[in-house]
């Protein structure tokens, strides 16, 4: 029966279980594992056939490049060359952790990983299970988020099972992930530092280290970036966003009343404190609207919960874009899909 689920306590790691997973990596297997952001679906990055298996299992388009995961900073220089000083400063400050750097690739990185680009994305995760798995595998591990392409990223082993059951070999179940949204992806182009995807490391912290940083606009298709597929991170339900401001609650209520009268099964994603206004409806609390960290840690789980309840429209309150709130709003906008105008 696929997959084998190996339950591991991140605070008291059973090395024997990680060795089994590392062996599977060496045998072209696909291993889902927890990182501090979301669960990843890993394969040996030096084995093109194993990497191809990732794309097949996720039904991921072959032109969407993968992140390579390493367990020590020195390995970055095997995979990337001409590393600019800002990139080096950033990895020294934030690794291990939720930061992915996009750099010029070396010949060690195959085209299937970089999908024909001259660059490679690299990250060193801090989750102890992820670190040990990469260390014992003794190869870089290629790993996208362990969901079916386009679905919300998995923040628990159950989410991975729901999407990839029967399609992968092992799941290392290390409990729910801490951060809940994916890593911040940053690229360096001719002296500019450009954030391609806001994520687990806040933009303000990156600016403290790298100085001037640009944020790629969500509709910018000139940059090969995670924004390339406008509809992403989507639950089965359609997502609609309701702007912040004094009218937010009234506006959301009127939309949900209308949708319900049209026969929709609506769900509401509310900021903490607003749930009482919506109590006659199916409401879930994302977190305090000013606390991006809490909202990030719950977002994908709640989107999936609405799906499992058969909700077909989720009306979500926009939250404050400070700190991790920026990543939360980026994911919600992508889930809502391109603006119809």
Question: Could you list the residues that contact ligand TXA (CB under 6 A)?
Answer: 35, 37-38, 40, 64-67, 98, 100, 102, 114, 117, 119-121, 123, 143-145, 182-183, 185, 196, 224-226
- Choose between 31 and 240: whose C-beta lies nearer to ligand TXA: 31
The partner in contact with residue 137, picked from Mg ion, ligand TXA, none with C-beta cut-offs of 5 to 8 angstroms by kind, is: none
Handedness of CA 137, 139, 144, 148 (dihedral sign): negative
How far is 37 from 317, CA to CA, in rounded Å? Answer: 23
The partner in contact with residue 67, picked from ligand TXA, Mg ion, none with C-beta cut-offs of 5 to 8 angstroms by kind, is: ligand TXA
Q: How far is the CB of 121 from ligand TXA (least distance, A)?
A: 3
Q: How far is CA 238 from CA 261, 277, 311, 327, in A?
A: 17, 22, 9, 19
- Choose between 38 and 311: whose C-beta lies nearer to ligand TXA: 38
The partner in contact with residue 88, picked from Mg ion, ligand TXA, none with C-beta cut-offs of 5 to 8 angstroms by kind, is: none
Q: How far is the CB of 226 from ligand TXA (least distance, A)?
A: 3
Q: How far is the CB of 276 from ligand TXA (least distance, A)?
A: 34
Q: How far is the CB of 184 from ligand TXA (least distance, A)?
A: 8
The partner in contact with residue 226, picked from Mg ion, ligand TXA, none with C-beta cut-offs of 5 to 8 angstroms by kind, is: ligand TXA
Q: Given the rule CB under 5 A, which residues bind Mg ion?
A: 144-145
The partner in contact with residue 269, picked from Mg ion, ligand TXA, none with C-beta cut-offs of 5 to 8 angstroms by kind, is: none
């Amino acid at each position: 029966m696929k997959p084998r689920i190996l339950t591991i306590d991140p605070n008291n790691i059973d090395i024997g279980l990680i060795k089994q997973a590392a062996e599977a990596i060496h045998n072209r297997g696909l291993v889902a594992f927890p990182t501090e952001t979301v669960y990843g679906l890993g394969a040996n990055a030096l084995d093109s056939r194993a990497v191809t298996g990732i794309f097949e299992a996720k039904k991921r388009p072959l032109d969407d490049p993968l992140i390579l995961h390493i367990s020590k900073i020195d390995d970055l220089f095997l995979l990337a060359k001409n590393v600019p000083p800002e990139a080096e400063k950033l990895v020294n400050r934030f690794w291990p952790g939720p930061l992915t750097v996009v750099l010029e690739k070396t010949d060690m990185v195959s085209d299937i990983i970089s999908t024909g680009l001259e660059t490679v994305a690299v990250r060193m995760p801090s989750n102890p299970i992820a670190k040990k798995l990469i260390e014992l595998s003794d190869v870089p591990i290629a790993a996208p988020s362990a969901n079916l392409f386009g679905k919300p990223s998995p923040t628990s082993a159950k989410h991975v099972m729901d999407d990839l059951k029967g399609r992968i070999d092992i799941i290392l179940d290390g409990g729910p992930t801490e951060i809940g949204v994916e890593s911040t992806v940053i690229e360096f182009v001719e002296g500019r530092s450009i954030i391609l995807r806001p994520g687990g490391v806040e933009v303000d912290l990156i600016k403290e280290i790298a100085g001037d940083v640009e944020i790629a606009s969500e509709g910018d298709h000139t940059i090969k970036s995670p924004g390339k597929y406008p509809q992403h991170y989507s639950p089965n339900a359609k997502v609609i966003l309701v702007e912040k401001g004094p009218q937010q609650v009234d506006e959301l209520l009127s939309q949900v009343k209308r949708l319900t009268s049209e026969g929709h099964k609506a769900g509401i994603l509310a900021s903490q404190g607003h749930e009482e206004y919506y109590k006659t409806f199916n409401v879930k609390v994302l977190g305090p609207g000013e606390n991006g960290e809490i909202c990030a840690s719950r977002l994908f789980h709640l989107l999936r919960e609405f799906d499992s309840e058969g909700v077909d429209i989720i009306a979500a309150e926009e939250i404050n874009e400070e700190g991790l709130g920026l990543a939360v709003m980026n994911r919600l906008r992508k889930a809502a899909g391109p603006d119809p105008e």
